[in-house]
Structure 1
Amino acid sequence: MTTIALPVLSANGSLEQYIQTVNSIPMLTPEEEFELATRQQEQGDLEAAKRLVLSHLRVVVSIARGYSGYGLPQADLIQEGNIGLMKAVKRFEPTRGVRLFSFAVHWIKAEIHEFILRNWRLVRIATTKPQRKLFFNLRSMKQGFSALSEKEAQAIAEQLGVKPEEVREMETRMSGQDMALLADEGDDEGFAPIDWLADSHHEPTRAMERRALDTLQGEGIEHALATLDPRSRRIIEARWLADDSGATLHDLAAEFGVSAERIRQIEAKALGKMKAALSHGVVIDA
């Protein structure tokens, strides 16, 4: 629908002033609401749609306050709720006998829910409808701030149609907080969490492991290949050490005049022999 001018709610504006402004806009009587909604639906009257939206902005503020515990700016939650309100006004049918307030609640909450799921980085499992229901109901269903017991988790899981382990995982995610590994720019004092992470790259045991791996990949493989007969070595080199994608069993079968199954048998035997040579014949210099 065409954009409707709303009271300004900017990042550097006053949230309190905005709330005072929308609370000062009078609510509509049932008769006024029906008349305006009819004009909007039948004639596309933008002025009527604007009055419907403006008179219900206080509803958005009230709903958005219920989501203040997710760590997102209240102004952003209100703006998203306003989008849901405008969608509700566009779809509202006054002849069904339902007030716009009741009809709009679903659309306002839906937009706020989508915004939270897009921006709350810890939540990535809330992808199905039952999981989303769990995400947005778990806070209110918990008794107090202590961790859920097995009995409580089971009861919530049964009520919301999810698994008990999903309830416990969501509880853990929602009780955690994001932590920046790097220090803020300009902060020259103290340590950031990343400074406490150990650098194991130069640890002696790790250095010896890397040296052993280099030996296995270089001298060790060459030593193992030397234990094979010429045909077996040719098969291993063509199948596993070629620069391109390697030869197929049928390619080598044609080269040696045997079946592909025979090539597979020779290959398996050669690999076993090389594995034994790598296990016993590699020496790592101190």
Structure 2
Amino acid sequence: MEAKNINQLVTENLSYVKSLANRFKGKGVDFDDLVSEGYMAMTQAAQKYDTERGTQFIAYAAPFIRKAMEQAIKQQSASYGMPKDGHQQLNKKQSRPLSIDAPLGTNNKYTLLDILINKDALSEEENTYFRLISEDLKAAIETLDEREREVIRKFYGIGCPHIPMADIAEDMELKRERVRQIRDKAVRKMARQAKTKALKTLLRK
């Protein structure tokens, strides 16, 4: 399936991801993290989706999305060895992560996902705009230390397939919460280094 069709499927069904994330609120994982996990899972489902099977896309994608969220909650609970609802106060203190579906600026309809997978669907003027932001994003990532770069690239699927936070934690032999802290610190650092207003706005949401 072409990138523009994948983006359309994901965008049209984002409300389902957010509604499901709402059901899991208070289970130990920040709402925005749940949305990010679900969003990435839905993108992966869209890449595998076969329109000729006659199955509605969201019916096909729902198990992928739910599994990703449940895995994130399970990993978070295991990291602390406490009940799933025991993280509510902790979550209130956590900074919001970079949102891959957040608009790039107040008056912009495009998102970070457009930069990453949908360049071919854009006009020449839009491509120039996104190229500047993409270059700014890459430059900001290069200001991070090696561990921060690894977390950012893997979690947001920049230059590689998206990897759930639980799997990143396992690969790096760290607790999931530690990976979250590294990610949030890296996002704040990138926001300070960003040159374009659009990227600064996105990173500071």
Question: TM-score range with shorter-chain normalisation?
Answer: 0.3 to 0.5
Higher relative contact order (CA 8 A, sep 6+): 2
TM-score, scaled to structure 2 = 0.39
Q: Rg bigger for which structure?
A: 1
TM-score, scaled to structure 1 = 0.28
